[in-house]
Amino acid sequence: MSDEVPSSWIAAPGRALTGTIRVPGDKSVSHRAVMLGAIAEGTTRIAGFLEGEDTRATARVFAQLGVRIEAPSAGERIVHGVGLHGLRGTDGALDCGNAGTGMRLLAGLLAAQAFDSTLIGDASLSKRPMRRVIEPLATMGARIDSEPDGLPPLRIHGGAGLRGVETTTPVASAQVKSALLLAGLYATGETIVREAHPTRDYAERMLSAFGWPIEFAPGFARLRGGHRLTAIDVDVPADFSSAAFFIVAATLVPGSELLIEAVGMNPRRTGLLEALRAMGADIREQNRREQGGEPVADLLVRHAPLHGIDVPAAIVPDMIDEFPALFVAAACARGRTRVSGAAELRVKESDRIATMAAGLRALGIRVEEAPDGALIEGGRLQGGAIDSHGDHRIAMSFAVAAQLAAGEVRIDDVANVATSFPGFVALATGAGMALRD
């Protein structure tokens, strides 16, 4: 958590969202760029690196492991790769902060090293399930101890000597897939990961860009140990998940017309566009192009009235981080919106089904919870007080909700917004939202 960020916001209806904005770099890509740069040969230059607490924590972990990382300016990193076998063990615990991605991917990478390591995290991360990586990694020969119920800290025993396996991931999770692929770099033989529901493929794309032979398709990845990674320049696209708050806000606030530039449009990330368009949103993709091997586009979002839908379960993994924002859209839509097949929301930075349901109810919206989703009845939002439970995306979603509320909304426990979206308040107020510390 950052010291500079206050713990509460007061949000209220502002003006229509207008102008042109750019949101910070993609969190998933930033984590992976540091990780692969660290174990590559040569110097990796990262542009558009997310200056969030999560990704900075990952960079700090690699510094502890002996990797020199320079930060010549905000959003820039120069990673002096030490090669696949060049990381150095440390006695100190490696602190992943709030980042599930950091901890789970590091578990895969560190299980393959010659030295022992310990991964710790903040109060939220210390409650998140790690068996999903511990168990499949164990089938490769990894030895990882956890607290009861598979909770952090993780004590990883080095020198295990991994062997490749063929696995189907137990849950739709790019973090689990990526952990296995990172372990697979060091394993004997072939590592094959299959997924019932395809998830984001940044690890696969980036491994390939760093020169590692890898075969992949939606729901499938295969690689062999024993190659090398060669440093590249990584140009990180803007994070679709951060753009999502502005996409929803501009859709909901009458009179809005907002251009969001250079947004990462990896198809495994953009399920929210599909859902919002089915609800009646007006979102145009302009200037589609490639940036750093990823599709990007400028998104022109105009206000449009929404109606409720049943969100297709098949697109849940493609919008897994966008449900807090989607819940807000649903609360402002005409009729009911049903979310199902999304039990993973219960083990994110907070239980996002419970936290969103409680928050929306506090603002006068009817929400029925289900184990794997919710039924949200669109209505008129009132003012009130919200506890974001230290979850960055919950805090930002209620800042959006407040733009439509009949009174002020106080949002508590917002410091963790800095984990993924430094500068959110300035960008949001500049675009038209009313939000103050």
Cite the active site residues: 321
| Residue 53 found at the interface with ligand S3P (CB under 6 A) | no
Query: Exposed/middle/buried for 91, CB within 10 Å: 0-12, 13-18, 19+?
Result: exposed
Q: How far is the CB of 307 from ligand S3P (least distance, A)?
A: 27
Closer Cβ to ligand S3P, 271 or 308, answer by number: 271
Q: Please count the residues of this chain forming the interface with ligand S3P, following the rule CB under 6 A.
A: 11
Closer Cβ to ligand S3P, 235 or 298, answer by number: 235
Q: How far is the CB of 137 from ligand S3P (least distance, A)?
A: 15
352 in a known ligand binding site: yes
Q: Name the one residue in this structure whose structure tokens are 């710790």.
A: 120
Q: How far is the CB of 16 from ligand S3P (least distance, A)?
A: 30
208 in a known ligand binding site: no
Within positions 108 to 147, which residues make up the interface with ligand S3P, using CB under 6 A? none
Are the C-beta atoms of residues 126 and 98 closer than 8 Å to each other?
A: no
Q: How far is the CB of 25 from ligand S3P (least distance, A)?
A: 13
Among 55, 58, 101, 191, binds ligand S3P (CB under 6 A): 101
CA-closest candidate to residue 349, choices 396, 288, 411:
396
175 in a known ligand binding site: yes
Closer Cβ to ligand S3P, 239 or 298, answer by number: 239
Give me the residue whose beta carbon is nearest to ligand S3P.
28
Pick the stretch among 167-175, 254-262, 326-334, 405-413 that binds ligand S3P (CB under 6 A): 167-175
28 in a known ligand binding site: yes
Using CA atoms, how far residue 380 sits from 337, 357, 359, 365, 373, in Å, is: 15, 15, 14, 7, 21
Nearest 10 degrees: CA dihedral of 210, 211, 213, 218?
A: 40
27 in a known ligand binding site: yes
| Residue 253 found at the interface with ligand S3P (CB under 6 A) | no
Closer Cβ to ligand S3P, 95 or 349, answer by number: 349
Query: What is the sign of the dihedral through the CA atoms of 23, 50, 128 and 37?
Result: positive
The span from the CA of 95 to the CA of 326, in Å, is 31
Are the C-beta atoms of residues 52 and 419 closer than 8 Å to each other?
A: yes
CA-closest candidate to residue 382, choices 362, 396, 366:
362
268 in a known ligand binding site: no
| Residue 28 found at the interface with ligand S3P (CB under 6 A) | yes
Closer Cβ to ligand S3P, 242 or 256, answer by number: 242
| Residue 397 found at the interface with ligand S3P (CB under 6 A) | no
* β strands within 6-136, DSSP E: 8-12, 18-21, 41-47, 68-70, 76-82, 94-95, 117-120
Closer Cβ to ligand S3P, 101 or 256, answer by number: 101
Which tokens sit at 45? 């230059």
| Residue 58 found at the interface with ligand S3P (CB under 6 A) | no
Closer Cβ to ligand S3P, 266 or 337, answer by number: 266
393 in a known ligand binding site: yes
Are the C-beta atoms of residues 241 and 288 closer than 8 Å to each other?
A: no
| Residue 320 found at the interface with ligand S3P (CB under 6 A) | yes
113 in a known ligand binding site: no
The span from the CA of 87 to the CA of 11, in Å, is 46
CA-closest candidate to residue 28, choices 221, 203, 214, 244:
203
Which tokens sit at 398? 């209620």
Within positions 169 to 188, which residues make up the interface with ligand S3P, using CB under 6 A? 173-175, 178
Name 140's bridge partners: none
Q: What DSSP character marks residue 153?
A: E
Q: How far is the CB of 19 from ligand S3P (least distance, A)?
A: 28
| Residue 342 found at the interface with ligand S3P (CB under 6 A) | no
Longest Cα–Cα distance in the chain: 61
Q: Would you tell me which residues interact with ligand S3P (CB under 6 A)?
A: 28, 100-101, 173-175, 178, 200, 320-321, 344
Residues annotated in the binding site, as ranges? 27-28, 32, 100, 128, 173, 175, 321, 348, 352, 393
Residues annotated in the binding site for phosphoenolpyruvate, as ranges? 27, 100, 128, 175, 352, 393
